[in-house]
Amino acid sequence: MTFDDQEHLERDPLIDQILISSAEIQRRVAELGREISVEYRETVPILVSILKGGVVFHADLMRRLSVLHEIDFLSVSSYEGGTQSTGVVKILKDLGNSITGRDVLLVEDIVDTGLTLQYLREILNARHPNSLKVCTLLNKVDARQVDVPLEYVGFDIPNEFVIGYGLDYDEKYRHLPFIGVMKG
Ligand code: PRP
């Protein structure tokens, strides 16, 4: 835990505990960056950030890549302001560029039920990329409702409501540098 992590924890009574510290996240992001750089050493992949939650991880991960790559953004919404998935996935903003024939890496903050990714894989595969893989920082294994392949996973986490490092509660708390658990 860093001094910053500790300060946030002390200032906000709604944060129960730190699940993954900012230092642990940064170490793991660097490792993932190295692995991804090896896999994509002979191509120029497109790293697609799934807004809004994926944006913090995406911004850190891309700076850990040693290969040339492009970035794009896709905005989807499946949760309606609360803490439970409705299973409804809406595209709010589509990709800016074509992915046909390209190597695409989807960058997610968390895979929970898997419904969002299942849907995204379906619609993006229909555009015929050369490859479509997923890198998620968090994998909530016990919440899975559908089986989706995850090529890169930062951390497996328990079935708790987590916030920070891009993840929100009612659109807030995305700025926290760690993954925290809300008071129940
Ligand atoms: C979160 C997360 C994933 C999705 C995962 O997004 O970023 O996209 O939920 O859940 P699932 O596996 O149950 O489908 P959310 O809809 O909360 O939007 P946000 O990223 O804008 O906060």
Full-model pTM: 0.93
Q: How many CA within 13 A on the CB side of residue 129?
A: 24
pLDDT the model gives residue 1: 74
pLDDT the model gives residue 2: 80
Cα–Cα distance, 64 to 107 (Å, whole number): 14
Does the beta carbon of 77 sit less than 6 angstroms from any atom of ligand 1? yes
Which two tokens mark 175?
A: 């700025």
Instruction: Indicate which residue of 112, 147, 156, 170 is catalytic.
Output: 112
The CATH number fitting domain 23-159, selected from 3.90.25.10, 3.40.50.2020, 3.30.565.10, 3.90.180.10: 3.40.50.2020
Element at 155 (helix H, strand E): strand 152-156
Q: Residue with the nearest Cα to atom 8 of ligand 1?
A: 116
pLDDT the model gives residue 163: 97
State the distance from the centre of ligand 1 to the C-alpha of 42, rounded, in angstroms. Answer: 31
Which three-class secondary structure state does DSSP give residue 113?
A: coil
pLDDT the model gives residue 155: 98
Domain boundaries along the sequence of the chain: 23-159
pLDDT the model gives residue 90: 81
Q: Residue with the nearest Cα to atom 20 of ligand 1?
A: 53
Mean pLDDT, each 10-residue run in order, the chain (184 residues):
86 93 98 98 97 96 98 82 60 96 98 92 96 98 95 97 96 96 88
Does the beta carbon of 75 sit less than 6 angstroms from any atom of ligand 1? no
pLDDT the model gives residue 79: 53
- CA-144 nearest atom, ligand 1: 12
Catalytic site includes residue 112: yes
